[in-house]
């Protein structure tokens, strides 16, 4: 593989030397293992403790030997030498590349046990709940051998159960569950309410998914809050604007743009200088745009109806009222204002964190994946992580065929169906990787037409899909799956119980078919990796059409000439090379978008850290009481005479935290609006990111002071008695209900990408 050669030469001899050294350590461990085979459980556990005393590993060979024996006794798995090498690299804080089926679950658990013995709390981060539970249960006995505990966090657990689980030495959890717990813990008013207590190490499984592909997915914690509607005045002014003259609408009527004349009318009517000035860009301009959107793009009785004094959306594809749907908050409120209705409650974003920022909270991050080499740049640039390549236990026996290229999407689709049918006719199992759910369904329908039984996986139910994918290697199986579905589940030849193992080996193992090249070779290789585990035979091939997204984007503006065969196939080395070239272009674009988008996120992440420091201080000390009594001495004396000191300290804390958290939430909302309207300023020839930074820094500076001022006001006026501060009575209740969501499940595919694309586009 070209990628690997590049990697080795880039890493030079250093990596080679390290490789040699760790091989020697592992060989020695194998020898020691022979000597300690009959040592008692207690002896081994005590020895391991001895070796890890003081938080450092004093003898790696002895330690690996003990871990190996423990694994054999508790799990029945004797680690392969390559697995022990991988454990060493993880303990040094690298991201290891280790192919699918090489046993990363065991490697991760051994390394986590090592960290835990050194006194570190470990979060073992998985891609979903199902894998968190599976691995905690599977690996629990190994961790337990040393008197340590393992537990899993899953979505269905309540706060009590979570708090208990987080006390374990090794905590398995999906990145969203752990992230949402971080967000909720950032809103507590007493340490007793926290469920987490920090962790020292994040050991990330499928590290490239979490650290690269989904790095900028924001986890969002929201609470109830009245909507922010454009004022009636703005709605009225916008009503006077005329399409074509004051604003324009694009062809598919999805976007509306105020023009200069329109802006001037609004500015004059409101008596302001410029809608695009600092003062108005994040507020008035957003409201004007919302009102304009409601007026120009959303038509009553086509997009919505008004019923019982409420706006109800109409589902365009079904032509029926879609009861539980709303537009994004501002739009909903704007339509209500347009119709002169009462503006309904909306959600307020209380806090948000990207996975990249979440990872930044851990003092040490390490990880494992089948495809790390191609992510070397990102891992270094964004996390300062090194990649270590671990050899395979058994040599790869998979045949990776060259791409089959077709002129059109239609011809490609026909060829894919034909190929699947042909392979299936021999009994060889086929796994097809598609780009999205719609493609999976379309393909499944076409195959069923041919009387081929198909299993379709869409990453909807992880546990159920794991059992289906575990059988994907059985004779005659055809499994169609999107990228994320069934990840982490081993595909054994001849079925999960391997009953027909030899027969499937004779048929050539698992055949993997990709319906398009992904935008990065890394995702292609993840799919290929499903076949050929542990020396199994296997096959992989990708189908590509010149109309594919990746080709259109990566090859934009380039002319290619090719002469297709009658079935549309273009069999030419030159075209195959060109497809590779297109992919390198899209990889470059993704990296650039990641870097740019992170610039927007980084500043807010840093600011959140400052807020968090302040919060910690307020929670740890009686600083809130000190500050408030200093600012309002008379009130403090009054209260001291009537209420217990401890109660007052907690009351002051809650008042202070309320205003701090509220201020932060306002800040997030404002910066969100600024980000949305900032492309308008790009038109005004300013550099958006600089502008964004300037506004963020300025607004943040006032936040802390404003929060204290407002807290003083509350301190003076709110009822404080033996039960504490009665904030709810003054309309200062913390949001009663909170809910969590992710903006997109996978920004590399699907609709969520539009956000990132949108931002990327500014920099073209
Ligand atoms: P990966 O995550 O690297 O794709 P898994 O951790 O899912 O791989 O393991 C794949 C399979 O290999 C599992 O069935 C596991 O039981 C098996 N396995 C792992 N380590 C060993 C070992 N040392 N000896 C035998 N089987 C092993
Ligand atoms: Mg795995």
Q: Which residues are annotated as part of the binding site?
A: 83, 101-105, 490
Cα distance between residue 531 and residue 538, in whole Å:
5
- Closest CA to ligand 1's atom 14: 490
Separation of CA 368 and ligand 2 centre (Å): 9
Separation of CA 634 and ligand 2 centre (Å): 63
For residues 92-110, average pLDDT: 95
Q: Is the CB of 77 under 6 A from ligand 1?
A: yes
Q: Is the CB of 152 under 6 A from ligand 1?
A: no
Separation of CA 109 and ligand 2 centre (Å): 11
Q: Is the CB of 429 under 6 A from ligand 1?
A: no
Four-residue CA torsion sign, 128, 130, 131, 135: positive
The CATH code that applies to domain 232-343 is 3.90.1440.10
Share of the chain above pLDDT 70, in %: 88
Q: Quick one: pLDDT band at residue 3, thresholds 50, 70, 90?
A: very low
Please report where in the chains the tokens 């391991």 appear, as a residue.
48
Return the pLDDT at 752.
Answer: 29
Q: Is the CB of 114 under 6 A from ligand 1?
A: no
Q: Quick one: pLDDT band at residue 666, thresholds 50, 70, 90?
A: confident
Domain boundaries, the chain: 8-223+355-389, 232-343, 397-571, 592-733
Return the pLDDT at 746.
Answer: 32
- Closest CA to ligand 1's atom 12: 103
Which CATH class for the 8-223+355-389 domain? alpha beta
Q: Per-residue pLDDT tens for 669-712?
A: 888 777 766 655 554 555 778 888 888 898 898 898 899 999 99
Name the nearest CA neighbour of 117 among 64, 53, 184. Answer: 53
Q: How many angstroms separate the Cα of 520 from the Cα of each of 3, 527, 541, 593, 720? A: 12, 12, 16, 14, 59
- CA geometry: angle 508, 510, 512, nearest 5 deg: 120
Indicate if the pLDDT at residue 758 is higher than 70.
no
Q: Is the CB of 100 under 6 A from ligand 1?
A: yes
Structure tokens at 754: 């539009």
Topology agreement, domain 8-223+355-389 and domain 232-343? no
**What are the contacts of 243-246 at 24+ separation with CB within 8 A?**
243/296
Structure tokens at 298: 């959303």
Q: What is the mean pLDDT of the chain?
A: 86
Q: Which residues pair with 226 in a beta bridge?
A: 345
Q: Is the CB of 532 under 6 A from ligand 1?
A: no
Q: How many angstroms separate the Cα of 364 from the Cα of each of 217, 222, 315, 492? A: 21, 29, 47, 34
Return the pLDDT at 741.
Answer: 64
Judged by its nearest atom, the ligand closest to the C-alpha of residue 487 is: 2
- Closest CA to ligand 1's atom 23: 79
Return the pLDDT at 251.
Answer: 77
Indicate if the pLDDT at residue 225 is higher than 50.
yes
Top-confidence range, 58-62, 138-142, 231-235, 532-536: 138-142
Return the pLDDT at 318.
Answer: 46
Separation of CA 189 and ligand 1 centre (Å): 44
For residues 450-467, average pLDDT: 86
Which stretch of 250-254, 663-667, 748-752 has the lowest confidence by average pLDDT?
A: 748-752
- Closest CA to ligand 1's atom 20: 103
Return the pLDDT at 679.
Answer: 56
For residues 656-660, average pLDDT: 94
For residues 77-97, average pLDDT: 95
For residues 572-577, average pLDDT: 93
Whether the Cβ atoms of residue 201 and residue 121 lie closer than 8 Å to each other: yes
Q: Per-residue pLDDT tens for 337-396?
A: 888 887 765 567 888 899 999 999 999 999 999 999 989 999 999 999 999 999 999 999
Q: Is the CB of 105 under 6 A from ligand 1?
A: yes
Q: Quick one: pLDDT band at residue 595, thresholds 50, 70, 90?
A: confident
Q: Is the CB of 496 under 6 A from ligand 1?
A: no
Please report where in the chains the tokens 């029945």 appear, as a residue.
76
Q: Per-residue pLDDT tens for 476-523?
A: 999 999 876 778 888 999 999 999 999 999 999 999 999 999 999 999
In terms of DSSP H, where are the helices of 343-401? 355-360, 376-383
Topology (CATH) of 592-733: Helical scaffold and wing domains of SecA (1.10.3060)
Please report where in the chains the tokens 């009636």 appear, as a residue.
232
In terms of DSSP H, where are the helices of 621-632? 623-631
Q: Per-residue pLDDT tens for 174-217?
A: 998 999 999 999 999 999 999 998 899 999 999 998 999 888 88
For residues 34-50, average pLDDT: 93
Q: Is the CB of 106 under 6 A from ligand 1?
A: yes
Architecture of domain 397-571: 3-Layer(aba) Sandwich (3.40)
Cα distance between residue 185 and residue 173, in whole Å:
16
Give the residue, out of 64, 69, 103, with the most ligand 1 atoms within 8 A of its beta carbon, to mutate for a pocket test: 103
Q: Is the CB of 135 under 6 A from ligand 1?
A: no
Q: Per-residue pLDDT tens for 324-349?
A: 455 655 777 788 888 888 776 556 78
- CA geometry: angle 401, 403, 405, nearest 5 deg: 145
Q: Is the CB of 473 under 6 A from ligand 1?
A: no
β-pair type (404-406, 537-545): parallel
For residues 725-748, average pLDDT: 63
Separation of CA 101 and ligand 1 centre (Å): 6
- DSSP characters for 562-588? ----TTSEE--HHHHHHHHHHHHHHHH
Q: Which atom of ligand 1 is nearest to the CA of 492?
A: 14
Structure tokens at 204: 């990330």
Q: Is the CB of 102 under 6 A from ligand 1?
A: yes
- Closest CA to ligand 1's atom 19: 103
Name the nearest CA neighbour of 482 among 295, 173, 745. Answer: 745
Angle between helices 688-717 and 573-620 (to 10 degrees): 20
Indicate if the pLDDT at residue 764 is higher than 50.
no
Between these two residues, 320 and 278, which has the higher pLDDT value?
A: 278
Cα distance between residue 555 and residue 476, in whole Å:
38
Cα distance between residue 103 and residue 107, in whole Å:
7
Q: Per-residue pLDDT tens for 597-650?
A: 888 888 899 999 999 999 999 999 999 999 999 999 999 999 999 999 999 999
Q: How many angstroms separate the Cα of 191 from the Cα of each of 167, 187, 321? A: 15, 10, 46
Q: Which residues are annotated as part of the binding site for ATP?
A: 83, 101-105, 490
Separation of CA 106 and ligand 1 centre (Å): 7
Give the residue, out of 79, 469, 490, 495, with the most ligand 1 atoms within 8 A of its beta carbon, to mutate for a pocket test: 490
Q: How many angstroms separate the Cα of 121 from the Cα of each of 60, 165, 169, 363, 431? A: 20, 12, 5, 11, 38
Please report where in the chains the tokens 């409120």 appear, as a residue.
333
């Amino acid at each position: 593989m070209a990628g690997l050669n590049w990697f080795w030469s880039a890493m030079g001899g250093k990596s080679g030397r390290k490789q040699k050294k760790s091989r020697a350590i592992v060989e020695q461990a194998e020898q020691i293992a022979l000597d300690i085979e009959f040592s008692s459980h207690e002896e081994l556990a005590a020895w391991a403790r001895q070796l890890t005393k003081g938080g450092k590993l004093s003898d790696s060979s002895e330690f690996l030997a003990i871990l190996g024996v423990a694994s054999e006794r508790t799990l029945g798995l004797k680690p392969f030498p390559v697995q022990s090498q991988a454990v060493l690299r993880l303990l040094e804080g690298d991201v290891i590349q280790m192919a699918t089926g090489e046993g990363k679950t065991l490697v991760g658990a051994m390394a986590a046990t090592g960290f835990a013995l050194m006194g570190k709390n470990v979060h073992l981060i998985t891609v979903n709940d199902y894998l968190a539970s599976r691995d905690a249960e599977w690996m629990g006995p190994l961790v337990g051998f040393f008197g340590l505990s393992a537990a899993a966090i899953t979505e269905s657990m309540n706060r009590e159960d979570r708090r208990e689980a987080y006390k374990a030495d090794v905590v398995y959890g999906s990145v969203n569950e752990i992230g949402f717990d971080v967000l909720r813990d950032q809103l507590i008013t007493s340490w007793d309410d926290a469920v987490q207590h920090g962790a020292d190490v994040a050991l990330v499984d499928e590290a490239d998914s979490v650290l690269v592909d989904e790095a900028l997915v924001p986890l969002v914690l929201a609470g109830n809050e009245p909507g922010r509607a454009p004022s009636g005045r703005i709605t009225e002014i916008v009503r006077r604007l005329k399409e074509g003259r004051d604003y324009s609408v694009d062809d598919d009527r999805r976007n509306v743009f105020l023009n200069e004349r329109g802006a001037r009318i609004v500015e004059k009517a409101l008596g302001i200088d410029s809608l695009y000035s600092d003062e108005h860009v994040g507020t008035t301009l957003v409201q004007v745009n919302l009102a304009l959107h409601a007026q120009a793009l959303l038509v009553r009785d086509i997009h919505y109806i008004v019923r019982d004094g409420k706006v109800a959306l109409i589902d365009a594809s079904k032509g029926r009222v879609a009861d539980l749907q709303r537009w994004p908050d501002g739009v909903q409120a704007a339509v209500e204002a347009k119709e002169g209705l009462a503006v309904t409650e909306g959600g307020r974003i209380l806090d948000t964190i990207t996975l990249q920022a979440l990872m930044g909270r851990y003092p040490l991050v390490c990880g494992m994946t089948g495809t790390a080499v191609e992510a070397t740049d990102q891992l270094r640039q964004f996390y300062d992580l090194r990649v270590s390549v671990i050899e395979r236990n058994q040599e790869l026996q998979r045949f990776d065929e060259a791409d089959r290229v077709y002129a059109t999407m239609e011809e490609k689709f026909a060829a894919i169906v034909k190929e699947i049918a042909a392979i299936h006719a021999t009994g060889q199992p086929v796994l097809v990787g598609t780009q999205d759910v719609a493609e999976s369904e379309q393909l499944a329908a076409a195959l069923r037409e041919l009387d081929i039984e198909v299993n379709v996986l869409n990453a909807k139910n992880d546990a159920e899909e794991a059992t289906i994918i575990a059988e994907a290697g059985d004779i005659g199986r055809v499994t169609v799956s999107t990228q994320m579905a069934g990840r982490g589940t081993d595909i054994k030849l001849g079925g999960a119980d391997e009953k027909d193992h030899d027969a499937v080996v004779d048929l050539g193992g698992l055949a993997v078919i990709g319906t398009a090249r992904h935008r990065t070779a890394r995702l292609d290789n993840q799919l290929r990796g499903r076949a050929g585990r542990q020396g199994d035979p296997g096959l992989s091939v990708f189908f590509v059409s010149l109309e594919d997204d990746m080709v259109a984007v990566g090859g934009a503006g380039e002319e290619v000439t090719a002469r297709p065969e009658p079935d549309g196939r273009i069999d030419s080395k030159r075209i195959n090379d060109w497809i590779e070239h297109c992919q390198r272009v899209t990889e470059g674009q993704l990296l650039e978008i990641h870097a740019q988008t992170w610039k927007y996120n980084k500043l807010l992440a840093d600011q959140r850290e400052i807020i968090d420091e302040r919060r910690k201080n307020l929670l740890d000390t009686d600083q809130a009481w000190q500050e408030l009594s200093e600012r309002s001495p008379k009130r403090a004396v009054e209260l001291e005479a009537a209420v217990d000191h401890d109660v007052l300290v907690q009351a002051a804390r809650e008042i202070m935290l309320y205003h701090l958290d509220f201020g932060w939430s306002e800040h997030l909302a404002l910066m969100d609006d600024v980000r949305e309207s900032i492309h308008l300023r790009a038109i005004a020839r300013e550099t958006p990111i600089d502008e964004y930074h300037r506004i963020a820094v300025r607004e943040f500076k006032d936040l802390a002071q404003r929060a204290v001022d407002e807290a003083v006001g509350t301190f003076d006026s709110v009822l404080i008695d033996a039960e504490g501060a009665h904030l709810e009575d003054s309309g200062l209740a913390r949001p009663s209900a909170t809910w969590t969501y992710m903006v997109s499940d996978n920004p590399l595919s699907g609709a969520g990408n539009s956000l990132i694309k949108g931002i990327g586009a500014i920099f073209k």
